[in-house]
Amino acid sequence: MAEYAKYVDVTKCDGCRACMVSCKNWNDLPAEPEDFQGSNQSHAKVTANTWNVLSFIEHENASGNLEYLFRHSACFHCKEAACVKVCPEDAMHYSELGTVVVNDEKCVGCGYCVQNCPFDVVSLATYKDKHGKEYKKAQKCTLCTDRIEEGMQPACISVCHTGAMEFGDRDKMIQKAEKRLAEIKGKFPNAVVYNPPGVGGTQTIYVLAEKPSVYGLPENPKVPTSAVVWKDYAQPIGKMMLGATTMAVIGAYISNKIFYKEDEGDGGHE
Amino acid sequence: MSKAKKSTLQVRRFSMAFVIAHAVNAFAFFALYVTALPMYTEFFDWLYPVLGGPENARLLHRIFAVLFMTPTFIWVIFDPKGFKRWLKELVTWKKRDLEFFTEFVKELFGFKFKHVRQTFFNAGEKINSFIQIITALIVIGSGFTLWFPELFPKFLVQWGYFLHNVGFGLAIAVVVGHIYLSVVHRHSSPGYSGVVTGKVPAWWAKGHYPDWYDEEVEKGNFPDIDHNGNPKGKKGA
């Protein structure tokens, strides 16, 4: 199956926030009243009910001038996603399109994904069941998997009026990003294409005007080492050890039945 | 597998404080195990409805977590002497402790073994104690980071998952052996009453922990017995 990606050229973004509105609208997400963030930014970061946030960064560039940097921020849809790795219920999974999505039926709201996401994107939403009892589910951007499956563009991209975002074949989007990078290097010498290899590459390909850290992004994000040793080693070895000691005691029991002689044990207790 | 001719004479091995601490520890351990099992293996997802849903399972896990931290305090507060003896035994290692293990393996599988004199706790019990102390510290320590992630740096929370998993995996593996030896194994199971009533058969205590038994005889606490548990020089008693 072809791989898709969301292309985001932050240098073309004018900060209109239509992507945020469109996302809320399509995904039927409730409004979240927020305190003043100290800038034009509406929310501190993405949340369980606000799947994309336009971040406004006031940055002093090398020549001492103010640079007003905008970035459409949402789930990166990592190719090797830490959230998928740590999910104990297989709720966080890769869709057929390769997007990272939550299966609400399976999610138990444990929050392992929340703590292990290298981009701090996943959060738990609190709901109430019909008895008034609260329960939690992990929520985040789905890359509008439901729309893509119907042959539509993700909601955020469909409304972008400056052409800062595009959706399509992943390789083409990477090429487009590289081409765009060459165009803007003169104006933004620190510009980079952000497609971090530590998480197997992402399905959001960014053209950033400045270093990732300027945007509050990790320079070298990766699946936490702790998550790898936990899920790939500790858990299977732990299960094997329990099996091993269980086998040992069963072996001991059987062996006693076969080899034990009454008189030998007499007075020989340790 | 005590024989008919063994005496029923019993001696006190553990204080009631220890018995209670041990019972609380065992109950909390398994309650924690069951309430977290569906998180460990999807195979046990059917436990969620039994436990009242994931939210409730997490709440129960936290309640039992608090309970799991109490046994040490129960023992220290109500039986400081017994607790001190345990610590002292744990740091005392002699040649006989190493000899114990080669004989133990033979004994475990039902082969002919020889008698290695032990003190209050044998070398195997000391190893079990060490593993449970270490794993309890790991599990409790990492439990705090998982319960209150907002109070700790992110890397500690992330490593907390790993440590919680390792600590519990090691503990449960050892517990299987511990329980087998206490309730099934023919030579050690007579001592099982030690964690229920605090008392054990005198012949078994003398056979397993001769140094300790002789010491108590010298102090005048225990009667001197033959290897069937009958007091020497007297009949019955």
The pLDDT tens digits of the residues spanning A195-227 come to 999 999 999 999 999 999 999 999 999 999 999
Taking CB atoms and an 8 Å cutoff, what residues of chain B touch A224?
Answer: 155, 158
Q: Is B227 or B102 the better-scoring residue by pLDDT?
A: B102
Using the Cα atoms of residue A124, residue A125, residue A126 and residue A129 in order, give the sign of their dihedral: negative
pLDDT at A261 over 80: no
Amino acid B113: pLDDT: 82
The answer to whether residues A103 and A91 touch, using CB atoms and an 8 Å cutoff, is yes
Q: Looking at the domain assignment, is residue B236 inside a domain?
A: no
Does B161 sit within 8 Å of A112, measured CB to CB?
yes
Q: Looking at the domain assignment, is residue B48 inside a domain?
A: yes
Q: Looking at the domain assignment, is residue B25 inside a domain?
A: yes
According to DSSP, residue B222 is labeled S
Does A257 sit within 8 Å of B158, measured CB to CB?
no
Q: Is A203 or B95 the better-scoring residue by pLDDT?
A: A203
* Domain range for B18: 8-79
Amino acid B164: pLDDT: 96
Q: Looking at the domain assignment, is residue B51 inside a domain?
A: yes
Q: Looking at the domain assignment, is residue B170 inside a domain?
A: no
List the single residue in B58, B113, B173 with the smallest CB-CB distance to A241: B173
CA-based nearest distance A137→chain B, Å: 11
Mean pLDDT, rounded, for B57-83: 96
Average pLDDT of chain A is: 92
The pLDDT tens digits of the residues spanning A24-58 come to 999 999 998 888 888 889 999 999 999 999 999 99
Question: Per-residue confidence at A268, pLDDT binned at 50, 70, 90?
Answer: very low
Does A88 sit within 8 Å of B42, measured CB to CB?
yes
Taking CB atoms and an 8 Å cutoff, what residues of chain A touch B118?
Answer: 270
pLDDT at A266 over 60: no
Which segments of chain A are extended strands (E)? 4-9, 53-60, 66-73, 92-94, 100-102, 123-128, 134-139, 165-169, 192-194, 204-208
CA-based nearest distance B78→chain A, Å: 29
Q: Looking at the domain assignment, is residue B202 inside a domain?
A: no
Q: CB under 8 Å to B59, separation ≥6 — which residues?
A: none
Mean pLDDT, rounded, for A96-117: 95
Q: CB under 8 Å to B192, separation ≥6 — which residues?
A: B182, B183
Taking CB atoms and an 8 Å cutoff, what residues of chain B touch A229?
Answer: 162
Q: Which of B109, B122, B146, B185 to mutate to test the interface with A (most CBs of A within 10 A)?
A: B109
For A268, name the nearest residue in chain B, comparing CA atoms only.
B115
Amino acid A245: pLDDT: 86
Q: Tell me which of 3.30.70.580, 3.90.1150.10, 3.30.70.20, 3.40.50.2000 is the CATH number of domain A4-223.
A: 3.30.70.20
CA-based nearest distance A245→chain B, Å: 6
Whether the CB of A227 is below 8 Å from some CB of chain B: the reply is yes
Mean pLDDT, rounded, for A171-192: 95
pLDDT at B2 over 60: no
- Per mean pLDDT, which range of A59-68, A190-199, A256-265, B140-149 is the poorest? A256-265
Average pLDDT of chain B is: 90
The pLDDT tens digits of the residues spanning A13-26 come to 999 999 999 999 99
pLDDT at B3 over 60: no
Whether the CB of A115 is below 8 Å from some CB of chain B: the reply is yes
Count of structural domains, chain B: 1
Q: Is A115 or A37 the better-scoring residue by pLDDT?
A: A115
Taking CB atoms and an 8 Å cutoff, what residues of chain A touch B158?
Answer: 115-116, 224, 226-227
The C-alpha atoms of residue B144 and residue B142 are separated, in whole angstroms, by 5
Amino acid A203: pLDDT: 96
Q: Which amino acid is at A106?
A: K
Q: Which of A85, A114, A269 to mutate to test the interface with B (most CBs of B within 10 A)?
A: A269
Whether the CB of A258 is below 8 Å from some CB of chain B: the reply is yes
The C-alpha atoms of residue B117 and residue B103 are separated, in whole angstroms, by 11
According to DSSP, residue A47 is labeled B
The C-alpha atoms of residue B178 and residue B189 are separated, in whole angstroms, by 11
The C-alpha atoms of residue A192 and residue A181 are separated, in whole angstroms, by 7
Percent of chain A with pLDDT over 90: 79
Amino acid B163: pLDDT: 97
Amino acid A108: pLDDT: 95
What does the angle CA B33 – CA B39 – CA B45 come to, to the nearest 5 degrees?
A: 95
Question: Per-residue confidence at A251, pLDDT binned at 50, 70, 90?
Answer: confident
For A251, name the nearest residue in chain B, comparing CA atoms only.
B109
Question: Per-residue confidence at A61, pLDDT binned at 50, 70, 90?
Answer: confident
Q: Looking at the domain assignment, is residue B90 inside a domain?
A: no
